[in-house]
Chains A and B, each alone.
Chain A
Amino acid sequence: MIPPVTPKSPKEDFVSAKYSTSPPPTPPSGGWGVITRYFIYDNTFDGLLTCVFDAFNRKEFPDRIVGENTQLPLFTESFTVITDETKSDRVLKALREKISRSALDMLFIDYLSESDDTTIILFRYIRKALTSEFSIEMNFADPDVLELSKIYKKVTREEERMRQFVRFQKTVDGIFFAVMNPIYNVLPLSARFFQNRFADQSWIIYDIRRKYGLYYDLHTVETVQFDHLEIAAETGKLTPEKLDDYELAFQDLWKDYLKAITIQERKNLKLQRQFMPKRFWKYLTEKN
């Protein structure tokens, strides 16, 4: 049970709140009876943490957490959470005392999956972590813990695919440019990798779905947005006059190379697609 808390000292909530070791009941799909309690937030990670703060404060726990502008079904109770960094910092601080650094990283990575279904699981996980007497991180028999570890795998897998399938085109001004269309918002996760690996060349990786990119100028990585992106919609290719003189030659060499190393006797298109799903082909130099 959650002991009563005085709304005036919310900080205490996380430290003193004790929750029974059994997980909080999961609502049946569709919620309890007809009324489902919704929290509405601004889709930021701080916003999610603020949801946690407010929930403890109000002693009211949501069945669903959704982003702004979501059409709510009939018969719902909803509460709009206003993101507040002092609140989210407090939750973060309390959380740090309860779970390891890597579990915390996992929560953030799960959040990048950008799905309302994940958000409520994250919420439940954080709630359990804060109120449980022992660390819940390794308890994979808990459906929420297991589910988050699976989502974590999916998001990091998508990020790995960025490392695999980003293809730079060298532009006339010497910038290496790539377009991607990841299903999760993984660009922030890959920044460090590309910055380390391509430290002596400036590059841009642009997420065409979310309409923002990362730009590395030999010093730092910054976020960029283009109002108007002059690329071929079908292939992500820049127009020839924007390219370095030898760019097309190297693209051709790469294609020739892949053709040359294929062993016809072992042809296995199914296997190729399993490792390199079709949805990535669009922006692959070798497939266009």
Chain B
Amino acid sequence: MNPKIFEKLKTLAEAAKYDVSCASSGTTRNNPVKNLGTAAGWGICHSFTEDGRCVSLLKIMLTNHCIYDCGYCMNRRSNDIPRSTFSVSELVELTIEFYRRNYIEGLFLSSGVVRNADYTMERMVRVAKDLRLVHKYNGYIHLKSIPGASRELITEAGLYADRLSCNIEMPSEASLRIIAPDKNYQSVYRPMHYIQQGFLQSAEDKKKYRHTPRFAPAGQSTQMIIGASPDDDNRILHLANALYQRPAMKRVYYSGYIHLNTYDTRLPALPTPPLVRENRLYQADWLMRFYQFKVDEIVDEKHPNLDLEIDPKLAWALRHPENYPVNINTADYETILRVPGIGVKSANLIISSRRFGRLTSDHLKKMGVVMKRAKYFITCNELQAFTVQEAGSEYIRRALTAPPKKKKDEEQQLIIGFEYDTPRNP
């Protein structure tokens, strides 16, 4: 073993750590011929770092040398930092050995740009290809595609990777131009488009031929940095919504901006990363994907930013008291899902259980409904409660945001959730 590997791992893991998209979900890979590795459904979190983030993949850079100078990035060329490069075989060995010890679900590889986009992309593809073809590795692979990479390389990458991603980084092209002048939306959207085409083509071929090589079966994802530019939540969520309309787009990640390059005055000097806002964006994203909310219901010109004090579902409910209280024993699934305090799981339990008899608030409590919130928005034919109709939105907001009896510093450390089914990778 090359003793330099320790130094390289440290440098190149640190270089990759700010990319938040580490989910390893979305593929099912069986292992019929007794090789190494499987992937199934939701990826597994194997560890959690001290910041509470899930470690599922070996998230690492091939190199942190870079010819570009993106303002938000630690690896930009103007920074004087230790630089390293893995050889293809070093990275392959690390992945395999970590995998065999059940440390990881697979590899998430990104890279700084050396020489040009294609030169870099080509080496990344070689890592994936070696893993699959030489080592018969069947675990998860996520490759970042380099902005500006050619269609040929993206297409080849799709044959070996489960997921490809291409980060938008800035929620508007204007901001991207200012902060990352080497990039533009075209260099991001093009690879995104190639991925989408490969994905659709492979689905099409599957109908015609029995053996079609799979193309990035877990689709693609992207990431936006939050709070580095003046773009509001209305802009961010509409962009996310538009991205989700694309057939292969599986996840949009939001990453609260961390002010690393303090000398760069194009960027806001945030004292702490905007974690509450990031959390609210994930909740809004959840509402769009699993709670049948339309983006316009969450943000619009009149409410361009998410309420930081309360979660977006409660915010919607308080803006629309006329829809409540909801009768738990008769309302349809969509309506029940809109009750603050009721998540997807409890909504399903309610629907399937009420066929056997009338549900009471006692049942709801046992089914995991957060009654502290839900009680203002439901009726279950019991004694008339104190709902939003009687109490008014303002009262409920105050009741539910009354400072909890805990230490101040914990407020920054919100956990995604309440009734939201917790995403593993905030």
Most buried by A among B36, B44, B103: B103
Q: Across the interface, name the chain A residue whose C-beta is closest to B413.
A: A268
Asked if B103 contacts A285 (CB within 8 A), the reply is: yes
In the assembled complex, the CB of B292 is this many whole angstroms from the nearest CB of chain A, namely 23
A234-288 residues at the B interface, CB under 8 angstroms? 246, 249-250, 252-254, 256-272, 274-276, 284-286
Asked if B48 contacts A272 (CB within 8 A), the reply is: yes
Dominant secondary structure of chain A at its interface with chain B: helix
For B319-356 the 0/1 string (1 means CB < 8 A from A) is 00000000000000000000000000000010011111
Asked if A199 contacts B31 (CB within 8 A), the reply is: yes
A-B pairs with beta carbons under 8 A, tally: 161
For A138, list chain B residues within 8 Å (CB).
Answer: 352-353, 355-356
Partner of A257, one of B13, B38, B50: B13
Q: Across the interface, name the chain A residue whose C-beta is closest to B416.
A: A271
How far, in angstroms, from A260 to B7 measured CA to CA in the complex? 11
How far, in angstroms, from A256 to B45 measured CA to CA in the complex? 18
How far, in angstroms, from A168 to B98 measured CA to CA in the complex? 10
A71-98 residues at the B interface, CB under 8 angstroms? none
Partner of A165, one of B9, B37, B46, B54: B46
For A49-64 the 0/1 string (1 means CB < 8 A from B) is 0000000000000000
For A199, list chain B residues within 8 Å (CB).
Answer: 31, 34-36
How far, in angstroms, from A224 to B331 measured CA to CA in the complex? 54
For B52, list chain A residues within 8 Å (CB).
Answer: 266, 268-272, 274-275
Partner of A261, one of B17, B30, B103: B17
In the assembled complex, the CB of B347 is this many whole angstroms from the nearest CB of chain A, namely 12
Q: Is A15 an interface residue (CB 8 A)?
A: no
Asked if A254 contacts B98 (CB within 8 A), the reply is: yes
Q: Across the interface, name the chain B residue whose C-beta is closest to A253.
A: B9
Q: Is A178 an interface residue (CB 8 A)?
A: yes
In the assembled complex, the CB of B343 is this many whole angstroms from the nearest CB of chain A, namely 14
B25-77 residues at the A interface, CB under 8 angstroms? 30-31, 34-38, 44-55, 58-59
For B353, list chain A residues within 8 Å (CB).
Answer: 138-141
Q: Is A117 an interface residue (CB 8 A)?
A: no
For B355, list chain A residues within 8 Å (CB).
Answer: 138
Q: Across the interface, name the chain A residue whose C-beta is closest to B363.
A: A141
Q: Across the interface, name the chain B residue whose C-beta is closest to A252.
A: B6
Q: Is A146 an interface residue (CB 8 A)?
A: yes
Q: Is B94 an interface residue (CB 8 A)?
A: yes
How far, in angstroms, from A178 to B100 measured CA to CA in the complex? 12
For B55, list chain A residues within 8 Å (CB).
Answer: 258, 261
For B136, list chain A residues within 8 Å (CB).
Answer: 200
Asked if A168 contacts B49 (CB within 8 A), the reply is: no
Asked if A272 contacts B6 (CB within 8 A), the reply is: no
Asked if A263 contacts B51 (CB within 8 A), the reply is: yes
How far, in angstroms, from A261 to B61 measured CA to CA in the complex? 12
How far, in angstroms, from A143 to B273 measured CA to CA in the complex? 45
For B35, list chain A residues within 8 Å (CB).
Answer: 199-200
Q: Is A170 an interface residue (CB 8 A)?
A: yes
Asked whether A167 and B31 contact (CB < 8 A) given A272-B50, A274-B52, the answer is no
Asked if B100 contacts A276 (CB within 8 A), the reply is: no
Asked whether A286 and B5 contact (CB < 8 A) given A140-B353, A166-B102, A261-B16, the answer is no
Asked if A258 contacts B102 (CB within 8 A), the reply is: no
Asked if B45 contacts A275 (CB within 8 A), the reply is: yes
In the assembled complex, the CB of A116 is this many whole angstroms from the nearest CB of chain B, namely 22
Asked whether A258 and B49 contact (CB < 8 A) given A201-B36, A253-B9, A266-B273, the answer is yes
Asked if B415 contacts A269 (CB within 8 A), the reply is: no
How far, in angstroms, from A256 to B60 measured CA to CA in the complex? 13
Q: Is A105 an interface residue (CB 8 A)?
A: no
Asked whether A141 and B36 contact (CB < 8 A) given A164-B45, A254-B98, A263-B17, the answer is no
For A274, list chain B residues within 8 Å (CB).
Answer: 52, 415
Asked whether A260 and B58 contact (CB < 8 A) given A164-B44, A276-B47, the answer is no
Q: Across the interface, name the chain B residue whose C-beta is closest to A250.
A: B97
How far, in angstroms, from A146 to B357 measured CA to CA in the complex? 14
Q: Is B258 an interface residue (CB 8 A)?
A: yes
In the assembled complex, the CB of A271 is this many whole angstroms from the nearest CB of chain B, namely 3
For A264, list chain B residues within 8 Å (CB).
Answer: 51
How far, in angstroms, from A253 to B11 measured CA to CA in the complex? 12
Asked if A275 contacts B51 (CB within 8 A), the reply is: no
For B100, list chain A residues within 8 Å (CB).
Answer: 168, 170, 176, 198, 201
Asked whether A196 and B30 contact (CB < 8 A) given A138-B352, A164-B45, the answer is yes
Most buried by A among B54, B94, B102, B366: B102
Mind listing 30 A-B residue pairs with CB under 8 Å?
A: A138-B353, A139-B356, A165-B47, A176-B100, A196-B30, A199-B31, A199-B34, A199-B35, A199-B36, A246-B97, A249-B1, A250-B98, A253-B6, A253-B94, A257-B10, A258-B49, A261-B13, A262-B17, A262-B50, A263-B17, A266-B52, A268-B50, A268-B52, A269-B50, A271-B51, A271-B413, A275-B48, A276-B48, A285-B101, A286-B47
Beyond known contacts A139-B356, A142-B356: 16 more, CB 8 A cutoff:
A139-B353, A140-B353, A141-B356, A164-B44, A164-B47, A165-B46, A196-B38, A197-B31, A253-B9, A253-B98, A256-B6, A256-B10, A262-B17, A266-B51, A271-B48, A272-B52
Top-4 shortest CB links A-B: A271-B52, A260-B13, A199-B34, A266-B51
> Which residues in A have some Cβ–Cβ distance to B below 8 Å?
138-143, 146, 160, 163-170, 176, 178, 193, 196-201, 218, 246, 249-250, 252-254, 256-272, 274-276, 284-286
